[in-house]
Structure 1
Amino acid sequence: MPGMLSGWCEKLGWTAYATDPLQDRYGASHAALVLGVAWALVHVVPYAQAGNDARWIVGQCLFTVALRVVPAWIYNNTGHSVLAVATCQASSNLAWSLVPVPRPGLALRPGRDRAADDGDHARRRAALRARTLAR
């Protein structure tokens, strides 16, 4: 539930508040890229706090910028529906939480297997989210 609330807050800011003025000024594609860069920069610190290395963070930030084009398209083609964009974001977050993705910066500890390290990473991420939401 907290993840859904934070996702809605993100969408209210990035989409409902910022998209229209940026699109009026720069057009849809440039506005999406500007928001994507801002969105990526906001996530750099949490990515680093989660133990990811610089290479992973850069790749994730590039993915984030590219991914911002999808919500912009959805927003513009659904009559500016923030609900549709939030649903897209929720499905993306759900996919990331259900599908384990190996991360290059998270080396296996001696005597441990990949599943154990991935589980440790997921627990660290969950603890970080809980601490962040508790503030």
Structure 2
Amino acid sequence: MNHCYNQYMRKFITLSFLISAPFWLIATLFDNLALPINLPFSALSFIGPALAAVIATPKGQRRKLLLKCRPLARIRLKWWVVALFIMPVAILLSYTINGTQGTDMTPLFMVVPFIILYLIAAYCEETGWTSYLSTHLLRSKNTWAVGTIISCIWAGWHLIPFIQTGNSISWIIGQTVWTILFRIGLVWFYERSGQKGTIPLWMHATYNTAFSMLPFYGSSYDPEGGL
């Protein structure tokens, strides 16, 4: 049984990194462009996990895979509260306590385009990391084991984009630790909600939207000491 699920994991991870690699390489040509938001060109590698999951899934099961993390689903009210508000509130509280770096907040009207953009990106990522990998691994391992395994791989997958944004070593370490903790939380909420992929989808999208609404389109975001 474990051997079977290890095969699922190896196939998905290999495909995810192979599909993402061209974006990481191309980013070296484009990341000298001045962008208002602290994201590298290699952030477009978000399509990698989705494509990897689709390729690794038998044709007859792909529709079910792609619907797992749909943005609208019948879930209990408490899970909608968790999905939509826990990350924005956490970031707002952290910024309120620690964020004295600037007051040039991102215009409020940017919430809508950001949430659309990040829903698309989160859907692609969560189709791979949640709908495919978490679902398979949770059949043979407990929640904390799955969260730890996937979070470390997820953090490694993000490492090159973290470096390509020109961040300090301490920033990269801080964000890597946060990435690991965040994914463990996503796996935990996914399992506790009855494996509703809508939960991690919205938590992921609202987190990215919330930090992008910080001063200077999220460039003030600092995982070293809060925000």
TM-score, normalization by structure 1: 0.69
User: Which residue does the alignment assign to 1:14?
Assistant: 129
1:49-68 Cα deviation digits (max 9, x unpaired): 11112221111111111111
- Tell me the percent identity: 26
Structure 2 distance, partners of 1:76, 1:54, is: 33
Runs (4+) of structure 1 exceeding 3 A deviation are none
1:83-102 matched pairs, under 5 angstroms: 83-99=198-214, 100-102=220-222
Computing the radius of gyration from Cα coordinates, the structure with the larger value is 2
1:52–1:103 CA contact under 8 A, matched in 2: no
Q: CA deviation at 1:38?
A: 1.0
Say yes or no: does 1:74 pair with 2:194.
no
- Is 1-10 or 48-57 further displaced after alignment? 1-10
User: Which residue does the alignment assign to 1:4?
Assistant: 119
The secondary structure found in structure 1 opposite 2:166 is: coil
Q: CA deviation at 1:26?
A: 2.6
Extract unaligned runs of 5+ from structure 1.
105-135
1:82-106 Cα deviation digits (max 9, x unpaired): 11110111111112112232477xx
User: Which residue does the alignment assign to 2:171?
Assistant: 56
> Residue 145 of structure 2: which of 17, 25, 30 is its match?
30
Q: CA deviation at 1:77?
A: 2.1
Structure 1 distance, partners of 2:222, 2:187, is: 29
Structure 2 distance, partners of 1:102, 1:88, is: 19
* Higher RCO, 1 vs 2 (CA within 8 Å, ≥6 residues apart): 2
The secondary structure found in structure 1 opposite 2:138 is: helix
Letter of the structure 1 residue corresponding to residue 206 of structure 2: S
Letter of the structure 1 residue corresponding to residue 157 of structure 2: V
Structure 1 distance, partners of 2:153, 2:161, is: 14
Structure 2 distance, partners of 1:5, 1:30, is: 28
The secondary structure found in structure 1 opposite 2:139 is: helix
Extract unaligned runs of 5+ from structure 2.
1-115, 215-219
Letter of the structure 1 residue corresponding to residue 221 of structure 2: V
Structure 2 distance, partners of 1:34, 1:48, is: 22
1:8–1:86 CA contact under 8 A, matched in 2: yes
User: Which residue does the alignment assign to 1:46?
Assistant: 161
Q: CA deviation at 1:37?
A: 0.6
Structure 2 distance, partners of 1:102, 1:37, is: 21
The secondary structure found in structure 2 opposite 1:52 is: coil
TM-score, normalization by structure 2: 0.43
